[in-house]
Every structure is written in C-alpha cells, then in structure tokens.
Amino acid sequence: MKLRSWIVSLLLGLLLWSGFMGSSSANPPVVDSPRLTIAASPSPNQSAAVLHVLNRLSFGARPGDVDRVTQMGIETYIQSQLSPSTIALDPNLTQQLSQLETLNMSPPELVRNYQPPQVGRGKLSQEAMRAARQKSRRVMQQALEAKLMRSVSSPRQLEEVMADFWYNHFNVFGGKGLTRVWTGAYEQQAIRPYALGRFRELLGATSRHPAMLFYLDNWQNTAPNSKGARGRFKGLNENYARELMELHTLGVNGGYTQQDVIALAKIFTGWGLQRAKGKQAGMQNGFYFDADRHDFSDKVFLGKTIKGSGMAEGEQALDMLARSPITARRISYQLAQYFVADRPPQTLVDKLSQQFQATDGDIRAVLNTLVHSAEFRDPKFYNAKFKTPYQYVISAMRATGVDATAMTSGKNLLALYGMLKQWGMAPYGCISPDGYKNTQEAWLNPDALLRRITFATALANGRFNQGNPVDTAQLTRTLGNNFSDRTKEVLNSSPAALQASLILGSPELMRR
C-alpha cells in the first residue's frame, strides 16, 4: 500500500510539473477518494507580495509567518531583517548551538584537538587511528548541524541567507587537508560577522583566515630569493591572487592582466599560517605574516605603484579591489541575480552599483536599495527563481515546521547530507573556488525533479519529523494558499493523504 501511494504521488507530481517543464498538457487523473479541497486565496495580491518577500529574504515561510508579516507590515519585516541584532533568538536554538563545542574554537585549537594524525607518523595503533579520524569528523558534523539548524529555525533569516550567499562567493572546499577542521570556523569567524557589514571588512576577514590561505595555497606563497625560501616554501603561488580578482572582486573580465596576477601574488607573499613552534607560536586565529618569505620590492598593480612595505601592501591591494567600480558592478550583479532574476535588469544592477560605491561597500545599504527597488517588487519576478537543492530542502523543512533538533539528529543529518551530496550541492562540498551556481539552468532537469519529489514524499510522511506526517491544512495556510490554477486542479483531484506530498513537490515550493 505504501509503495502504491508513493508511485501515485510520484506520478501526480510529475503531471503537476509537466506544465512547468513544457513536456505535456495532459489532464490530471481523477481519483475517487476523500479530498481536502484547496480553495482560492482570499487576498491573492497581498498574500503573493508577502510570500515574495519571505521567499527572497528568508529560506521560505514557516507556519504563521505569512500572517505575522501581514500584520506587522512588509516594511517593518524588511527593516527588522536588515538589522538582525534587533530580533531575539529562540532560547532553544541558542542552547542547541551552545552544545556544539567546536563551533567557536580558533583554528589553532581545532588543529590541536581534532587534526587526525598523518599516516606513517607516530606509533598509533589502527584502532587509535580510527578513533582519531572519527573525532576529527565531529568538527564538520557540528558545522553542518549549526548551518542546518540556523537555516531552518533562526528568526534572523536574512542574516542566514547572506551568510550562505557570501560563503558561496568566498567558497572554501571542506575536504582539502586542514580545511576539514577549519571550514566551520571559517564560516563562523570570517563570513557570519560581516554578512551585512562592509564588503572591505568581509574581504579582509576571508583573506586572512587559515581556511582560505590553505585552500588556495597562499600559505606556501614565498618570494623565490627570500630568506624563508626553502622546503615547501620555494616560490610564488598565484592561486589566491588570481581567484581574489577573478572570483572575489573584479571578475574574469575585470580588466586585469597576467602581470597583475604576478604582482598581486608577490604582494601576498608571506601571508600564511601559524606553525606550532618558534617565533610564530601564540599568534591569534592561526594567521601569521612571515616577513622572511615576503617580496619587499615595489610592485605595479592595476597601474598603481605599491611600495614594498610588508603586510601593509596586501591591505592596500585589498582596499583597491574592494573600492573598484568594477567590483561594485560585479557584486551588484550577483546580488541582483540572487534576489531578483537569473538575468537581472541592468537598471537594478546600476542602482546597486551606485549605492555600493556611495556607501563604501555597505552591504546592508545595498540590500535596502535592492528590496525597495521597482524591479524587486515587480510581480513579473515573483517565483522567477528556481531554488537550488539547498534552498529547496530548507524551504520545505521550514514550511512543514519540522523541529531542527529532530532534523539534525544522528541518521537524519547523515541522510540530509548524503541526499544533498547526491543532488550535487553538499554544504561545504564545492571543490572549485567559484562556488555553486544559483541559476535555473544549473539545477532544473528531470532527474533533479524526481529526486525532489521523492524527498517531498518522505518529508510529508514524517521521515524527518519523528514519524509525524505533515498536516496538509497547516501547510496550505503556511504557503498562503498561493497556488496556481494548475496546482489546485491536481491537488483537488488527489486523495487527501497525498496532497502534502504534492504541495511539497509543486512548482510553488521549488520556486522562490
């Protein structure tokens, strides 16, 4: 019986999506069984506007959110989200996060306590090696727990959305060497505190964090003829310098040359990691500038001479990159693409770029301009974005009111991570430095829809909520009963027991 219900749900879901995929115009089947009728929304325009704001400034509505935002007013909600410190955190969430002991450890502490021993070193037994590796995995597990709990449960949703956005922008792969124990600290220390601050501060925090230094190899970047050029520190490494311009600031067509890449690599020589012994011991947060490996010659970078002066050269280069009009345009385009449309209107990009430059890269001010723009509020852009796998999973969890503790406990956490990995979007799992795409063409395909519908069925049946099935009536209210005629037709032709699965697998849930 369960298998039959699953197959019917799957087929109905595919029919529901057929109009979206443009592959079929078949009428949905009529099933003669009890139904929960999905009625028309009483105030579609207001409900749609509220849902639009919730879909873009949060990971989606939770039960009661539509009524709450309607009562408080969209503008009040927007301003509170732009100032997250004014929003009280749920004590339950705070307590759950406080139990994750690795979350606030510094990079040196994480290495001392959780770095697994290297093969061939020491005289540990196989059993001891296995135990050490298991202990090391706890760091990534707790980073995942924190990310999922915050995404699902935090009332400071825009802060969570922007933390996810900026982590992806300044991506660090969590499976490369020491990044396995540093990824969570990187997000906690270099991304989250600056997610709604100034871009220059965010850029500087990422440039100095050990996770970024290790991932893009700048910790080995050494002036070839310097005093410290020996062993693995033999010469220039251009990786970070290139990605800093190509991905973090100017963009691939940002007007720089290979000579600028070389100059910037020289500027960042010596920016590296604290080592366990010697003069570098005791440095905070794991960052260390090694003057013995730095190139102190003058450099010409982007047409400007930077005098050889040590670590200050890197800060000067970061200032130039953060305040470049080219960077302003690129960051503005990416924000407009994320919050409005895959191909955002140039008028909006121009507005954001002007605000970015006028406020010295104040992210909060740029977002305020974005959400008050005519483009953002234009109904033609409602539901214009296809959710990434992560956005879809989190929005579905939020819509059903799933308890974050149940979701991140034991097997559920492993199941969620494994599922997102299969879908190609494991948190902290993007190998390349350009991060995951956020456009429809990257994620919309028949196989992806099948996977999502399978997940929707499992979620509706209580798979991630201690076996408690989803209440369809509540789910409908949570989403403002804002369904298309096509979706309502399919839902009203389906058994009540399958409607929650169909709603969770509907176009309305997969778009934002």
The pLDDT of residue 404: 80
pLDDT greater than 70 at residue 195: yes
Q: Which of 37-51, 241-255, 307-321, 497-511 has the lowest mean pLDDT?
A: 37-51
- Is 73 inside any structural domain? no
pLDDT level of residue 407 (50, 70, 90 thresholds): confident
Q: Which of 124-128, 154-158, 273-277, 355-359 has the lowest mean pLDDT?
A: 273-277
Q: What is the dihedral of CA 357, 358, 360, 366, to 10 degrees?
A: -80
- Give the span between the Cα atoms of 245 and 302, in whole angstroms: 11
Tell me the mean pLDDT in the region 319-326.
98
Q: Are 183 and 306 in the same domain?
A: no
Q: Are 317 and 429 in the same domain?
A: no
- Give the span between the Cα atoms of 37 and 42, in whole angstroms: 14
Amino acid letter, residue 308: G
pLDDT greater than 60 at residue 320: yes
Q: Phi then psi for 385, rounded to 5 degrees? A: -105, 130
- Is 448 inside any structural domain? no
Q: Which of 149-163, 213-227, 482-496 has the lowest mean pLDDT?
A: 482-496
Encode pLDDT of 426-462 as tens digits.
Answer: 999 999 999 999 999 999 999 999 999 999 999 999 9
Helix, strand, or coil (residue 311): helix
Count CB neighbours of 245 within 10 A. 24
pLDDT greater than 90 at residue 346: yes
pLDDT greater than 80 at residue 6: no
User: Which of the residue ranges 18-27, 202-211, 280-289, 494-503 has the most confident prediction, judged by mean pLDDT?
Assistant: 202-211
**Total number of domains in the chain:** 4
The pLDDT of residue 26: 39
- Is 206 inside any structural domain? yes
Give alpha helix (H) positions in 210-324: 210-215, 239-243, 258-267, 311-322
Q: Are 233 and 309 in the same domain?
A: yes
Distance of CA 239 to the CA centre of its chain: 23
The pLDDT of residue 3: 58
Which structure tokens are listed for 44? 């579609």
Q: Are 241 and 345 in the same domain?
A: no
- Give the span between the Cα atoms of 70 and 77, in whole angstroms: 9
The pLDDT of residue 42: 43
pLDDT level of residue 7 (50, 70, 90 thresholds): low
Give alpha helix (H) positions in 107-217: 107-114, 126-153, 157-169, 179-186, 199-208, 210-215
Q: Are 250 and 299 in the same domain?
A: yes
Q: Which residues of 460-470 are buried (b: 16+ CB within 10 A; e: fewer)?
A: bbbebbeeeeb
What is the CB-side half-sphere exposure of residue 158 using CA atoms within 13 A? 25
**How large a percentage of the chain has pLDDT more than 90?**
77
The pLDDT of residue 313: 98
Last residue of a domain, one of 323, 342, 370: 323
Q: Are 344 and 312 in the same domain?
A: no
Q: Which residues of 303-318 are buried (b: 16+ CB within 10 A; e: fewer)?
A: eeebeeeebebbbbbb
Q: Are 192 and 312 in the same domain?
A: no
- Is 477 inside any structural domain? no
The pLDDT of residue 349: 98
Q: Are 181 and 232 in the same domain?
A: no
Q: Are 319 and 345 in the same domain?
A: no
What is the CB-side half-sphere exposure of residue 9 using CA atoms within 13 A? 29
Sign of the alpha-carbon dihedral angle for 409, 415, 418, 424: negative
Q: Are 319 and 336 in the same domain?
A: no
Name residue, tokens 């389906």: 494
Encode pLDDT of 24-61 as tens digits.
Answer: 333 433 334 445 565 554 445 778 999 999 999 999 99
CB 492 within 8 A of CB 430: no
- Is 47 inside any structural domain? no
CB 19 within 8 A of CB 506: no
Count CB neighbours of 254 within 10 A. 17
> If you ran DSSP here, which 8-state letter would residue 233 be given?
B
CB 238 within 8 A of CB 262: yes
Encode pLDDT of 158-185 as tens digits.
Answer: 999 999 999 999 999 999 999 999 999 9
Q: How many residues does the chain have?
A: 512
Q: Are 149 and 223 in the same domain?
A: no
- Is 164 inside any structural domain? yes
Helix, strand, or coil (residue 386): strand
Q: Which of 44-58, 148-162, 277-291, 494-508 has the lowest mean pLDDT?
A: 277-291
The pLDDT of residue 81: 98
Tell me the mean pLDDT in the region 350-355.
98
- Is 297 inside any structural domain? yes
- Is 140 inside any structural domain? yes
The pLDDT of residue 2: 63
Q: Are 308 and 347 in the same domain?
A: no
Mean pLDDT of all residues belonging to the chain: 90
What domain range includes position 308?
216-323
Q: Phi then psi for 41, rounded to 5 degrees? A: -70, 135
Q: Smallest Cα–Cα separation from 415: which of 465, 362, 350, 480?
A: 465
- Give the span between the Cα atoms of 375 and 346, in whole angstroms: 10
| Interacting residues of 106 by C-beta distance below 8 A, sequence separation 6+ | 185, 284, 285, 286
